[in-house]
């Protein structure tokens, strides 16, 4: 397969370039700084450094409000301003290099803290999917029926490289519509008021936008398939047709889990995997395939006082792995423990 050997951060940078981004506020945090460095090398746009994550998100709000197509490389995007952007209906794209809330451990806890904030949330598995999803994200976010910001989460090791088939500027132009935001205009005043008295109505509109996004994501993915012969969907089903037990997982570790599923199939165990690609909006219809099967949900973020964030959405046994890259043997051992348990269990890896 022809292509370029790229890391996850390089894939994100090239995707931003091919999305014709105009403004890139950034803070030199570990991991996400690699995206910014690469983007400086390959793309001529307004790339500027802010003094904190809070300042980055405030800058993104400002550039998006001013009508600039905005790209935000971050690592742990938690700040007050982060919560303002969805309410203000600002369709920028954030590439989040996943880490914990408290340090540099690789897990989903920081990004999952935004699950109710109003962002569309994608969890790619491969560097190819990171590249494709960032470009698709602009088409989805900027649709007049959506107008919400997007988080594309990156949770694999930044040193991991693979062959990536990059799109071209010409083919991307055919996919992306012209960015036509509600620009600031002194003659036509526009109010983006997060303290509006119409708060309830505006939140309802956000919910409708999320519901609309389900359709727009599917349509965009279909157009991508027509152009590049690659398709991802809201979820991915892997050997689930006759599966008695299904592993539910999101992100980079899905590849390891798939390898484990193949080995267990060779042993005669009817195991399958369902990968959550789109976490928000939640793909309710696509998860009906789990009905009547034993479900094991693999989480990389815990809702303290309950259990894993992903497993809070799905009934079944829950496995919580924080800061660890699981092996194929880990998945094998987990299913052994679940099979021996009489009821649903919560396991810590």
pLDDT for 2 equals: 80
Tens digit of pLDDT for each residue in 238-289? 999 999 999 999 999 999 999 999 999 999 999 999 999 999 999 999 999 9
Distance CA 112, CA 100 (A): 10
3-class secondary structure per residue, 191-258: CCCCCCCCHHHHHHHHHHHHHHHHHHHHHHHHHHHHHHCCCCCCEEEECCCCCCEEEEECCCCHHHHH
What is the average pLDDT across 172-195?
73
Question: Which of 35-39, 63-67, 117-121, 132-136 comes out lowest in average pLDDT?
Answer: 63-67
**pLDDT averaged over the chain?**
93
At residue 119 the predicted structure's pLDDT band, cuts being 50, 70 and 90, is: very high
- Banded pLDDT at 345 (limits 50, 70, 90): very high
Handedness of CA 208, 214, 220, 222 (dihedral sign): negative
Instruction: Tell me the two tokens of residue 96.
Output: 């989040």
Look-up: residue for tokens 């409000």? 65
pLDDT of the residue at 333: 97
Q: Are strands 278-280 and 120-122 parallel, antiparallel or unpaired?
A: antiparallel
33-75 pLDDT, tens digit per residue, is: 999 999 999 999 999 999 999 999 999 999 998 889 999 999 9
| Domains of the chain (ranges, CATH numbers) | 4-228 (3.40.50.970), 235-348 (3.40.50.920)
Q: Residue written as tokens 């952007």? A: 85
Residue 183 has pLDDT above 70, yes or no: no
pLDDT per residue as tens digits for the range 140-171: 999 999 999 999 999 988 888 999 999 999 98
pLDDT attached to residue 329: 97
Tokens of 304: 């303290």
Cα 249 to Cα 236: distance, rounded to the nearest angstrom: 10
């Amino acid at each position: 397969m022809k292509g370029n050997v790229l890391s996850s951060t390089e894939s994100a940078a090239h995707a931003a370039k091919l999305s014709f981004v105009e403004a890139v506020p950034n803070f030199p945090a570990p991991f996400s700084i690699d995206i910014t460095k690469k983007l400086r090398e390959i793309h001529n746009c307004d790339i500027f450094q802010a003094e904190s994550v809070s300042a980055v998100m405030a800058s993104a709000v400002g550039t998006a409000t001013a009508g600039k197509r905005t790209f935000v490389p971050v690592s742990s995007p938690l700040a007050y301003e982060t919560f303002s952007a969805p309410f203000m209906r600002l369709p920028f794209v954030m590439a989040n290099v996943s880490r914990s809330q408290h340090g540099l451990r690789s897990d989903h806890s920081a990004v999952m803290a935004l699950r109710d904030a109003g962002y569309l949330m994608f969890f790619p598995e491969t560097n190819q999917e990171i590249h494709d999803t960032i470009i698709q994200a602009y088409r989805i976010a900027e649709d007049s029926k959506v107008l919400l910001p997007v988080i594309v989460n990156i949770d694999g090791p930044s040193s991991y490289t693979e062959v990536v088939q990059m799109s071209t500027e010409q083919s991307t132009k055919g996919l992306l519509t012209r960015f036509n935001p509600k620009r600031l205009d002194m003659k036509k005043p526009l109010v983006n008021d997060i303290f509006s008295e119409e708060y309830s109505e505006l939140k309802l509109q956000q919910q409708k936008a999320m519901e609309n996004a389900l359709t727009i994501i599917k349509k965009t993915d279909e157009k991508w398939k027509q152009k590049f012969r690659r398709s991802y969907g809201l979820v991915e089903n892997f050997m689930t047709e006759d599966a008695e037990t299904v592993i539910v997982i999101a992100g980079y570790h899905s590849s390891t889990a798939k390898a484990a599923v193949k080995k267990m199939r060779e042993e005669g165990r009817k195991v399958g995997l369902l990968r959550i690609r789109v976490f928000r909006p939640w793909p309710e219809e696509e998860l009906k395939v789990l009905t009547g099967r034993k479900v094991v949900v693999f989480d990389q973020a815990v809702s303290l006082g309950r259990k894993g964030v992903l497993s809070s959405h799905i009934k079944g046994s829950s496995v919580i792995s924080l800061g660890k890259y699981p092996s194929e043997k880990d998945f094998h051992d987990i299913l052994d423990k679940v099979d021996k348990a009489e009821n649903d269990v919560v396991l810590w890896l």
